[in-house]
Amino acid sequence: MPARGTDLDRAAQILKTVAHPMRLRIVALLCRGEESVGAIAERLGTSATTVSQALGVLRQERLVAVARRDRRASYRLEERVLRQLIPCIERLAAEPAQARAGRPRRRPALRLPPAA
């Protein structure tokens, strides 16, 4: 069954949101489990402020959720499809550029009407 327009719109919004390198790194890290802002910042070698800003964008798009326990907040993936998307992106990034360059170009799957 073909995807509906609203499904494709949501998919495009998810891809747009995780397209930022810092947000993509955070999502990849959260695929392994819940983490606090401080732990994420330490593992990614950046500031807690940078991580908090990126998490705010991800939370606004409902891709991550925050769980508060006592005075500690930890973040987890809310959008399960990201657990499947991240390994695909990692495989794509790991593929040598030479291998991609040597492939013949494929025709686009969508047939566009001729320009008027």
Which residue ranges make up each domain of the chain? 5-92
**pTM as predicted:** 0.74
Question: Between 1.10.15.40, 3.30.70.260, 1.10.10.10, 3.30.565.10, what CATH number should domain 5-92 receive?
Answer: 1.10.10.10
Which of these, 71, 110, 87, lies nearest to 32 by C-alpha position?
A: 87
Ordered per-residue pLDDT tens for the chain, 116 residues:
556 778 889 889 999 999 999 999 999 999 999 999 999 999 999 999 999 999 999 999 999 999 998 888 999 999 888 888 888 888 888 877 656 566 665 544 444 445 43
Distances (CA, A) of 90 to 24, 25, 28, 85, 104: 10, 11, 9, 9, 22
